[in-house]
Structure 1
Amino acid sequence: MSAQQIAALVQAALASFKHEAPPEGSTRGSPWSEARVLSQLAKLKDSLVTPYPQRFVVKDNHEQMTKHPPDEADYWVVAETNDYLEFYDPRTHEFGLADRGTDDALPSTIGVRGDLIGVFCAR
């Protein structure tokens, strides 16, 4: 996939987003209000970057967290915040969240995968 194709996927996800409250009793705690979701959506839009490939350390589960040497994979970064990167995995067709890491360390995935907006809201 190309950066343009990834950007088009991101734009399509944003264009098709419609907030729907979850059914009563289907969540733990209180579901987010529409205002809170739309606030996060605005932050996501501000965090978008031109997609670029990045190597990641894969730490999505306990086995991967303790593996030596750790698994690594290449994903497309689509959004950046101070602490996190949101990426797109073209093999699984899902978005994910990663800790940016420090200095020269590769960013590490943290086991959050799913749709563009849900993943961003999980950070």
Structure 2
Amino acid sequence: MQHFDVDPDALRRAVLEDMARYLAEYTLPLSGATYGTPWSKERVAAELETMRTLLVDPYPFEYFSEDRILPDAERAAPVVRSAWVVAEDGSYRLLFDPAVREYVLVSGTPENGWGSFGIRGDAPSTFLAR
């Protein structure tokens, strides 16, 4: 697998900047606009602080893409993709997939492999979806 040229330090800085921007711009959704109870800004701040403790020095990683980023014709079986791990939390990893310039949440184990399941986007909201 090809690992795109990524500056790990720049990637870590980008994640931290995304986290700060996410918190600064966070507002409660309108009533009825979401399922469940929306998080308060204080809860979001606490979750982002937890995320900060789970950041790692980015390193290359391969995962099985089992979500919908690929056209139907290419989705017959999970595809192995190259990415960079930016955070780890038990059976979850937050990856940066440079080919599509998105963060992706994967779950799994070292023994069974790691696969995506459709949670993609910016670093904070993708990781907080775990």
Shorter-chain TM band = 0.7 to 0.9
1:45 paired residue number = 52
Q: Which amino acid aligns with 2:123?
A: L
User: Could you tell me which of 90, 94, 112 is aligned with 2:102?
Assistant: 94
SS of residue matched to 1:13: helix
CA displacement 1:31-73 (0-9 Å, x = unmatched):
1122221221111001000011101011114x69x834x3110
Equivalent runs, 1:7-46 vs 2, <5 Å = 7-17=12-22, 18=24, 19-46=26-53
Q: CA deviation at 1:13?
A: 0.9
Tell me if structure 2 keeps the 8 A contact 1:101–1:108. no
Name the TM-score, length of structure 1 as normaliser: 0.84
1:84 paired residue number = 92
Q: CA separation in 2, counterparts of 1:54 and 1:79?
A: 12
Q: Which amino acid aligns with 1:82?
A: G
In structure 1, list runs of 5 or more residues that go unmatched: none
Q: CA separation in 1, counterparts of 2:80 and 2:61?
A: 10
In structure 2, list runs of 5 or more residues that go unmatched: 1-5
Q: CA deviation at 1:10?
A: 0.9
Q: Which amino acid aligns with 1:7?
A: R
1:116 paired residue number = 123
Q: CA deviation at 1:23?
A: 2.4
1:4 paired residue number = 9
Q: CA deviation at 1:102?
A: 4.0
Q: CA separation in 2, counterparts of 1:29 and 1:45?
A: 25
CA-atom RMSD in angstroms: 2.0
Q: CA separation in 2, counterparts of 1:11 and 1:119?
A: 14
Q: Which amino acid aligns with 1:78?
A: V
Q: Which amino acid aligns with 1:115?
A: D
Q: CA deviation at 1:81?
A: 0.5
Name the TM-score, length of structure 2 as normaliser: 0.80
Q: CA separation in 1, counterparts of 2:102 and 2:30?
A: 24
2:3 paired residue number = none
